[in-house]
Structure 1
């Protein structure tokens, strides 16, 4: 396992990038005591994050942002890093969706692509959680920066987001 550096919410937050510090403070406000971890290499992809953490790709709770076509509302899907998202399943629940470009992601979430946290967005998104995540004991989610992550359980993810748990995974026919 690659060595990672951890900064606990009760430690000196000045060592974290601004966006990760904001997430650490938000997590602390919501009673989440686990640290924000800074990966030495980028965690922009699920595979990169899993390699840096020494965990399975499935344990990466990746945040994928879409744009709802009818009203430009952000739609956040928090999916297992092992899954591809079935956009048709998402659209059945929230309406027709389209891809979100980097500008849309930054404007609506306040985070850069690769660092989108499940919480603390500039504009509250419609959020869905991949049901496959609930089969795991431990997850890692982005903490506001491409190098920042935090550990949580699937139940904590549901509690932090208040989002419904649904089947969003693309399944082979």
Structure 2
């Protein structure tokens, strides 16, 4: 009997492939000394930073919620809580975020998380034909259409970002 090997890639790329959603992978050399993973990705890939989105896990009174916002801005916790039907939201502990998503901080993808969480994508994603999100590890981004990002995550668009 031949043992089947798991598909190569990250849980995010495996989930995208299995779903039939079109995407492009973009790898770059990650600098472990960099402070902003998203801005590093934009610079390394030669992409407008507004098209690169970061994935943040929040802890709300309605449970854990994923916020996906442009790397040029910040997550508005009050707006995210309202969009999630919660009264309050705070950033989740990084160790909890890693355990619940299956990814390391700086490489958390909104796609293929170990535990599915409600996902809210900032509405500015709709301004672009494609956006970039983490592919599931530092130095790897996935480019896909914003509507496909919603479809694969079961997410919704809402105004959850504010200027940095």
The secondary structure found in structure 1 opposite 2:16 is helix
> TM-score, length-normalised on structure 2?
0.83
1:122 corresponds to which of 93, 114, 117: 114
- 1:98 corresponds in structure 2 to 90
Q: CA deviation at 1:36?
A: 2.8
Counting only pairs closer than 5 Å after superposition, residues 1-173 of structure 1 correspond to structure 2 as: 20-42=9-31, 45-68=37-60, 70=61, 73-94=63-84, 95=86, 96-170=88-162
Out of 36-45 and 104-113, give the one that drifted further.
Answer: 36-45
Shift of 1:93: 2.6
Higher strand share: 2
Moved over 6 A (4+): none
Structure 2 gap segments, 5+ residues each: 1-6
Deviations 1:79-138 (A, max 9, x none): 122221111111223321122122111111000111111121122112111001101122
- 1:86 and 1:33 map into 2 onto residues whose CA distance is 30
2:3: which partner in 1?
A: none
What is the root-mean-square deviation of aligned Cα atoms in Å? 2.1
What is the total number of aligned residue pairs between the two structures? 153
Deviation at residue 38 of structure 1 after TM alignment: 2.1
Higher RCO (C-alpha 8 Å, min separation 6)? 2
* 5+ residue gaps, structure 1: 1-12, 15-19
